[in-house]
Structure 1
Amino acid sequence: MILAPDSGLMQIVGLDFDILKIDHSLIETVLTNQTAARMLRGIVALAAALRLRTVAEGVETGDEAFFLRAAGVDCGQGWFWSRAVSASEASRILSEGYPLANAQKSASKKS
């Protein structure tokens, strides 16, 4: 594939960002769709090559959290960990850190 200067991918080359957020629409299909799972792994590999952290949006189950952690996703957000919270509560949660590595601990609490 050749990228033209005005193509969508070329437009993001000049942007300065350090986190790549992975949309829920992909997350919800990775356990049932091999193409989605391969795409997720490719996104994670690309992010790692670009030295970007990855965040999975809309993680709803322990199985999703475990899969994402195994695929190398850095962090997750979603109902698996918490309901919607106020800004102050979100700040508290974020200050404590909540990477996907904590998924197993959270899953055992919810069992």
Structure 2
Amino acid sequence: IYSSLNSVNDILNVLPIDITTVSENIQWLIEEGEPVLNEIESDNNMMALAESAILYANRDRQHLSDIHHLVLQSEAHFFNANFEKAYVDTSNALRKLRQGGSVSD
């Protein structure tokens, strides 16, 4: 994608501008870039959810050893860019705590 962006830039810097080539490159960028942008946006949203869940779980971290262990694992998943795993694990544990159960159930 970056090479295509550079190519468009190079084409635009040459006069006269070859509109057909620019249009072809732009179309390719739209077709190939859209899925990449969607994936980045999805990862960013999941990262924000995971971060919020981990921060919320931190309030019980010092009082409950189950939560402390879970937050350590979730932080490891988070720092390895496995945001979905961090979010799901943390959310499930918080749900169990709210229902009065143990996290390790």
Q: Do the structures match in fold with TM over 0.5?
A: no
TM-score by length of 1: 0.22
Between structure 1 and structure 2, the one with the greater Rg is 2
TM-score by length of 2: 0.23
More strand by share: 1
More helix, by proportion: 2
